[in-house]
Each structure stands twice: as C-alpha cells, then as structure tokens.
Chain A
C-alpha cells in the first residue's frame, strides 16, 4: 500500500515537472509538431480501421436486438450514443496506448540506455523539456483528434452496414442520430474524456520510459507497463468520468 502511494506521488511529481518544463519556445513547439506527426498522424490508420470495425459490429448486434422490439429505426441513436459516450474515447485511448504509448516508452527507455538523456543534462538542456514535454503535449492534442476520427469511421461504417447490408432506411438512421446526439452532452464530453485519457496515457508512457532501467530488460518492462498501466487507467478513469459527467 505504501509503495502504491509512493508510486502515485512519483507520477504526480513527474506531472508537475512536465508542466513546469513547458516553455513558449519555438524549438519546443517544433519538436511538439514533429511528435504530433509521429504519434498522432501515424496512428490514424489503426484508429480508423478500429473505429470502422467497432461501428460494423455494434450495428450488427444492435440491429438484431432492436428489431426484436420493432425499433430497428433507432439504430442511429443506439450507435451514436454508444460510440460518442463510451466506445470512442475508451477504445481510441486503449489503441493509442498500444500503438503510440508503447513506442514512446520504448523510445525514452532506449534514450536512457544509450546515454542520450544524460548527455542532454550534461549540455545543460533539461531532458524533460526536450524529450518528454513534446511527447506529452502531442499526446494530449492527438488523442481527442484521434477520437474524432474513431467516431467518424465508426458511424460511417455503421451507416454503410445499416443502409446497404441490413436494409435500414438511411434517412431514419441519420435522423435518429441527429435528434439524439447533443453537442455538449455527447460530443463535447467525449472530447473531455479523451483529453483526460490523453493526459494519463502520456503521463504513464513518458514516466515509465523516462525512468526505465538502462538495460534492454528495463526498456522491455517500460514498454509493457506503458500499455498495461495505461489501458487499466483508461478503464478506471472512464468509470469515474461516466459516473460524474452523465
């Protein structure tokens, strides 16, 4: 228990260190933009494909359940609320942890093992400001945007399945979606959730990578921790946020 509290304290202190190292400098912004490309833009394919499959499965399963009660036309409502409120933010964050969080932890772990972080410190360059802040900020910006991509592909795939494979009228699908989705209640809060998930995914991945033991095994452990701790934290936070936001 004491060890867990100590670990939470270390994460908290590291977050403060990251926030304190954010500078309005051109070089840090340039590094951040590069990281948005590396960890954000390059994650678009996996997020888009993931979103599309979730949309297809949800539509198929939802339709079977809804037609039993003669409510097949409410398919748009069911899909949009499920994807906006829960699946979009949660699955995007979990996929992001698996794809980019692990990469960040491995990269930082290798930087530690190959003296890159020490050499920055020797050059009087704050390693947190140089290598952690750009990855952290890029993640916090990227995860909400990737969530939008996930949701968009999920709904488009769901509509395609509903209209062309299940025979649901497209007009009903979009009308039910439009009438049931609220800009702030659903769309806005999905972004709040995903931004919170982004902060914690980034914090966990950068913390375990930055403090990895400088050995191949240390890097491997950090990579695993980034995915496992990150995914569990997303599920835990989702419960907390769902209980308080809705």
Chain B
C-alpha cells in the first residue's frame, strides 16, 4: 500500500477545549491515506484530546476537521456513528465490557454492525485473537486477563472489522518488549495489507518511530513538530531535543504550573 496525497484526516486551524480550558489551539495537520502517524508528547499535552477530536467526541471550538471525506461535527448522532463504523479506536483504558468474555468482546462490533453468519464471525474473531497472540483466550473472562493481555484483546477488537482508519491510544502500555515488537509490527502490517490509515499515540518513542511514516509532537497547546522520523532525529529544535532526550530542563515544563506559564507566554 502506498501513501496517497489524499488525506484521511485533516485538521485546519482547530482549537479544542475541555470546558473553559483550551487544550489545543489553532492546530493544523493531515494524515495521508495509507500512512502511519505517530503522535508523541508529554503527558497531559493533549494527545488523547486530539484523538477525541478526530472521532467527533469533542467538538472543536473553531477550525475545520475533515475525517474520511466528512466534515465534523456531524449534524446527527446517527451520522456520527455511521462515520465511526469506518474507524477502529483503541482507548487508553481498554474499555473491554466486563460482562462479556474475551471472544464476545472482540465479536461485539461484528455482531452489532453486520449480518455475518456465526461461523464467519467465529473465524474472524479467532483470526484477530491469533494475530495478537491470544488465540486460545476466547473463553476467558476479562477479569482473568493481565493488563498486557487486556490491551491486546482491546487491539483485536479495534481491528476486527478492518476499518479504513485506525486510532490507537497508548497501544503498547503494559506490554513486555516481545509483545511490543509484535504489536508494533502488527500495526504496520495491518495498515499496509488492508490499506488503512493509522494514528498511534504513544510514549514508546523508539518502537513506534521504526514503523511511522510521519511524526507529530504535541506540546504547549500546539503541534511543535511535524515531519518524518529521520527529520525528527536530525532536528536541532530545543523543544524536540528535550523531549527526545528526556531532559528535565527545557522549553517543556515538567511542573504543571510551569507548563501553563509556558503555554500562556
């Protein structure tokens, strides 16, 4: 799958607020179709807020958002849900339904949105569970899973219907290095094989940069870097360097108040 000039997601001068607080101000970026984009940034910088903006959960205070050819916000909830059927979202909290077992959790989008025969649903679910290395866990209850296993089940559920747009919020949290490698490669392989467009929010910088086509760094209420992983490595911008080198001192404040002060400066 090649990356297209066409954008699956486009933000133009978008401001996102939570209540009275402005989280992201006047941001613009595009996710070319077929690409994998890594979104990096300090905790609390607004990475998940950006994801909530893409899925239409958070309505922009200003600016234009276009997702898969549709402008947000959608006029009706039904229209928004129709658009969301074309997205796979893996949230930071796994969001696995506690009254369903692993198999039924993964099967849920298929059972709700399709009329596929039971046999095919079983086959598809089994295939996705096997892809995340949990082929034999279908009968387990969600409370029997470790944190890392639950992340992988959530990933299997997000990709079960092979949507054209995949949004991952911290997909590698709680995974051991082997699982990390497998999942990172799986994200890339699914993206290429099924012609998806992927947005990966993560703190596992090195692992994700290996598969990303584009990197966005979110900090100080905006996007402070947008480019390829190679450009990121070569960047001399003090803010980018502080983040990549994990330095305590620099333009990105560690202290919450300090961050706000920088933001308003």
Contact = CB atoms under 8 A, between A and B. Distances in A.
A115 B92 contact: yes
Interface size for chain B: under 10, 10 to 19, 20 to 34, or 35 or more residues? 20 to 34
A166 interface: no
A118 B91 contact: yes
A119 B95 contact: yes
Contacts of A34: 99
A121 interface: yes
B4 interface: no
Interface string A5-44: 0000000000000000000000100000010000000000
A29 to B, nearest CB: 13
Interface string A97-119: 00000000000001100111011
A115 B95 contact: yes
B89 A122 contact: yes
A115 B94 contact: yes
B112 A123 contact: yes
A27 B108 CA distance: 10
Nearest to A26: B111
Contacts of A183: none
Contacts of B81: 124, 126
B93 interface: yes
A124 B92 contact: no
B82 interface: yes
Contact of A123 (B82, B92, B98, B108): B108
A125 interface: yes
A122 B84 contact: yes
A111 B98 contact: yes
Interface in B94-144: 94-99, 108-109, 111-113
Contacts of B154: 119
B55 interface: yes
A125 B104 CA distance: 14
Interface size for chain A: under 10, 10 to 19, 20 to 34, or 35 or more residues? 10 to 19
B84 A114 contact: no
Contact of A116 (B57, B82, B95): B95
Given A115-B93, A118-B91, A119-B89, A125 B112 contact: yes
A110 B57 CA distance: 20
B189 interface: no
A116 B96 CA distance: 6
B28 to A, nearest CB: 24
B84 A124 contact: yes
A116 B97 contact: yes
A34 B100 CA distance: 12
B85 interface: yes
Contacts of A124: 81-82, 84-85, 109, 112-113
Contact of A115 (B87, B91, B111, B112): B91
A114 B93 contact: yes
A118 B84 CA distance: 13
Interface in B53-72: 55, 57
Contacts of A115: 91-95
Interface string B220-250: 0000000000000000000000000000000
Contacts of B92: 115
B243 to A, nearest CB: 27
A125 B111 CA distance: 11
Nearest to A27: B111
A121 B56 CA distance: 11
Contacts of B96: 116, 119
Interface string B130-164: 00000000000000000000000010010000000
9 contacts: A110-B98, A111-B98, A116-B97, A119-B96, A120-B97, A122-B95, A124-B109, A124-B112, A125-B112
Interface of A: 27, 34, 110-111, 114-116, 118-126
3 smallest CB-CB distances across A and B, nearest first, come from: A119-B95, A115-B93, A124-B84
